[in-house]
Chain A
Amino acid sequence: SVEGDAIKVYVRVRPPSEGTALPDGDQGLCLSVLSTNTIRLHSKPEPKIFTFDYVANMETTQESVFSSVAKNIVESCMNGYNGTIFAYGQTGSGKTFTMMGPSDSDNFTHSLRGVIPRSFEYLFFLIEREKEKAGSGKSFLCKCSFIEIYNEQIFDLLDSASAGLFLREHIKKGVFVDGAVEQVLSSAAEAYQVLTMGWRNRRVASTSMNRESSRSHAVFTITVESMEKNNEIVNIRSSLLNLVDLAGSERQKDTHTEGLRLKEAGNINRSLSCLGQVITALVDVGNGKQRHICYRDSKLTFLLRDSLGGNAKTCIIANVHPGSRCFGETLSTLNFAQRAKLIKNKAVVNEDTQGNVS
């Protein structure tokens, strides 16, 4: 059937770090990679098989992860499509290694550098190539912004003084963060520099608020604008490349958040805020009737609306740790990834001319 723009899901299994695999038991591992797109989770009583667009086993190189996940997306970005790469997984599942590279070195030149630096290199490589091909007729402008969404609030990571930015929409430019700093980029190295600087701000922000950073989402966006002059006609094309680090998928063992379950019940004075969610869910079942829901999307889904089922190329990299101690988290990551595959652009066109064909 038609391939469509469904989200591609890529699962990567990291190798267990030394010393952690064996003490867990005989097997030590809770899953095995069966082929390049299937994975078996040793759940009880029945093992469970998951199928994804790609499954990278422990031996997969950084280079190969990049070529199978990101290369395509960067290329379509050059063709005017928007592209988004999400990273998802529990802490310790290799998310940072996959996206950035080894944590303690200059990732930009390291042979094990991750998807993000490689995407930067490739993007600017493609831009240079285009420029050479087209001569002086074509020029490019790259800008980037870097924001963090924490607790439904938006912070600018390129301007640590700012707080509480707003999402707005522009009829030509789509969704944007009002007032976010945009930095012009001229090379991949510069892009990487901006990214690492923002990343440091993220940590600062998270400690000053006394909150764990893994509850925040970070979105790094590069806007690629090309201008082509053909005689007197100027042709401008622009597209976005979003790199998203989703909040950790793990349970928040050491914080209050998991206490949610009984806090709800125990704290009898709380506002009944879940009632709205229940009612919303009731209305959603409303068989195609006209209705309006007063509750808005989360900030993240609103910002990335286009990537989650629009005309964009989107990929999720789900990172898992194979250790049997991580079984619960791994199962939930795989379940999440499975669901993500179902997200698709639903172009419902109002069309009620049936019976009007006289």
Chain B
Amino acid sequence: MAAGGGAGKMAAEAWAAARDKFRAARALSRVESRKDPATEPFRSKYAARALLEEVKQLLSGAAEGGEAVRRAVLEYELGVNHADTEELSAGEEHLLRCTRLLQPQRLSRRCVALYIQAQVARSGSGDGSGSGNGPHPALCPQNNLGILWSERDEIHAAREHLEAAESAYQQYMKEDGNPPLDPSEHFMDEEEKLTDQERSKRFEKAYTHTLYYLAQVYQHLEMIEKAAQYCHTTLKRQLEFSGYYPVEWALNAATLSQYYLSKQCFMEARHCLAAANVIFSQAGQVPSAEDNETEQDQQDLRQRKAEIARCWIKYCLNLLQSARKLLEDNIGELDLDRQLELKAQRKKEEDEKENGRKKAVLFVTSDICDSVLAMEEKVSCVYPLDFQEAREIFLVGQNYVQEAKEFFQVDGYVTDHIEIVQDHSALFKVLAFFEEDYERRCKMHKRRVDMLEPLCADLNPQYYLLISRQLQFELADTYYEMMDLKVAIGNRLEELDPHTIKKINSLAQLAIKYYELFLDSLRNPDKVFPEELEEDVLRPAMVAKFHIARLYGKLITSDGKKQLENMQTSLEYYTFLVDYCEKYPDAVRAVETELELSKEMVGLLPARMERLRAKLSPFI
């Protein structure tokens, strides 16, 4: 209808000229320009622009009202052309003219697709002459978009254009819904026109891009929840209209799951991960474009798989840790009343949940639906409430630990490997919370020690200072916990047997050793402990000192003199805390409880030591 009508009003000759020139311009700008030499990067673009201007002349000769859409197409092409050649304000002018021309009939079948594309293009233009407020991309790799929208004003304008495009789409789909004309069709002869299927495909793709840009805009405006929602919808639409690379999609979905974890939305997180696994498995089946995959590609693929496994590990870990938070009493033990209460509550909610789930935005297109559901069934998304349930989640996590470690071996991937082992240790730690038997719980902690200790010994702190400190601290804490458990076990006995005493003492000594290693890592090259602690190590350092003080207090000995010495050492460490906080009152906030107890001990210990001294030499 459009071309036919145009051809009717314009002389057939003029129409043919306009059509051919327009076509040539598009070829220049979309195909030829890629081959332009570096010295003349915009050669084809400039040539295309000249042609577009000629077409515009031809059209203005026609001067008919019905040509408005075609004029808008030209303005759009010119706008994009100017922006591509870095004449942004000229580009914006053309695009503005384009949307003005379309405004009255923007929701018509002929215009809506072009209108949306023009708005998307405008959202990316505007004159941000690259004042480059963003950090250098080399140092901040994730922030390339900061360069695109360096000014606040621009991003607000971008948002307006994109939201206009979004609502045009929605309104059109509601009121009309037929596949609209593609902008390129306005310069096609009747017989070349696209099929409805192709039209629909292009239209939906343009809309997906609108949502994709909106996700970016909302993220930059720090509307995090909204941004996440748009990311999710973009992923979903990519699946529906099959415009995606499986590996990339899977990684995006897996990463999105991590966002849901931070919001404690375990059902959504699990769904993203299950879909990531399913889509990822497509990647192996589809041979790559060149067919002969290099070893590098294979390795990349294995790495991505391991990355997704690591997202699963975090899922299991977070689910267990959140459950522990719900279930623990004020001394960090399992609260049995709370456990019963939550179990009852869960029974009641179970049915309702099934219904709620269907309302959420899910990636369920018919062909992957079953696979995703099957994947989801392998692990729960509700809080585990007892050891048995916790263990099931733990085992899933542990399987993913093995899978991730297959790729991230210590030789070549030190940091990644250790991070995975740290997660494994954390899985054991949280599982131990659910274990009621102290002996078995102790064994779980021993497993943690066994996996962390050799790494800690081998690691060169010159290059891995941070991880090195983390390992030292974690080992110290683990030994500390094991000692506490042994004391608790010992307390149930009538009398402490020599074996238990030996065990307690040796665990305490090991805890002290690792706390001291950690504290030593804070010393400068001349081995001097810092006068004032850096903010980021303040709390761990103070906790280390405090725990050492307590550990010396727990050492068991029948030798009075030795006991006196231990008390003396203990007192010194408590005093450190008290003196430090006096000197730097800002530190108090970080260690309130510890400080209070330290003050108490500094008050009590000298008297106790005095008594002990008197007992040791009663005749003086």
Mark B residues whose CB is within 8 Å of A.
37-39, 41, 80, 83-86, 88, 91, 117, 120-121, 123-125, 128-133, 135-139, 141-145, 147-148, 202, 205-206, 208-209, 212-213, 215-216, 219, 224, 227-228, 231, 234-235, 238, 244-245, 248, 251-252, 254-256, 258-259, 261-262, 296, 304, 307-308, 310-311, 313-314, 317-318, 321, 330-332, 410-415, 422-423, 426, 455, 458-466, 469-470, 473-474, 477, 480, 518, 525, 530-534, 536-537, 539-540, 543, 546-547, 550, 593-594, 597
Contact = CB atoms under 8 A, between A and B. Distances in A.
B390 to A, nearest CB: 16
Contacts of A247: 138
A357 B121 contact: no
Contacts of A281: 142-143, 219
A354 B147 CA distance: 42
Given A273-B248, A347-B465, A294 B311 contact: yes
A168 interface: yes
Contacts, number: 282
B248 A350 contact: no
A355 B38 contact: no
B593 A357 contact: yes
A351 B539 contact: yes
Contact of B219 (A254, A259, A261, A282): A282
Contact of A332 (B133, B244, B296): B133
Specify which of A2, A239, A351 lies most central, judged by the most chain B CB atoms within 10 Å of its CB. A351
A231 interface: no
B251 A276 contact: yes
B245 A2 contact: no
Interface residue tally of chain A, by bracket? 35 or more
Given A271-B245, A279-B231, A293-B255, A174 B464 contact: yes
Nearest to A259: B84
Contacts of B460: 171-174
Contact of B597 (A171, A260, A354, A357): A357
A311 B41 contact: no
B480 to A, nearest CB: 8
A345 B535 CA distance: 11
Interface in A1-30: 1-2, 4
A44 interface: no
A286 B410 contact: no
A343 B415 CA distance: 20
19 contacts: A2-B531, A81-B525, A171-B464, A249-B132, A251-B132, A260-B147, A268-B209, A273-B248, A276-B251, A276-B252, A285-B224, A291-B258, A291-B261, A292-B310, A292-B313, A294-B308, A347-B465, A355-B331, A355-B332
Contact of A2 (B308, B534, B597): B534
A289 interface: yes
> Which 5 A-B residue pairs are closest in the complex by CB-CB distance?
A174-B463, A286-B262, A332-B132, A262-B83, A265-B124
A310 interface: yes
Q: Which of B235, B331, B462, B530 has the most chain A CB within a 10 Å cutoff?
A: B462
Interface stretch (A111-119, A132-140, A298-306): A298-306
B130 to A, nearest CB: 5
Contact of B130 (A80, A258, A350): A258
B318 A311 contact: no
A290 interface: yes
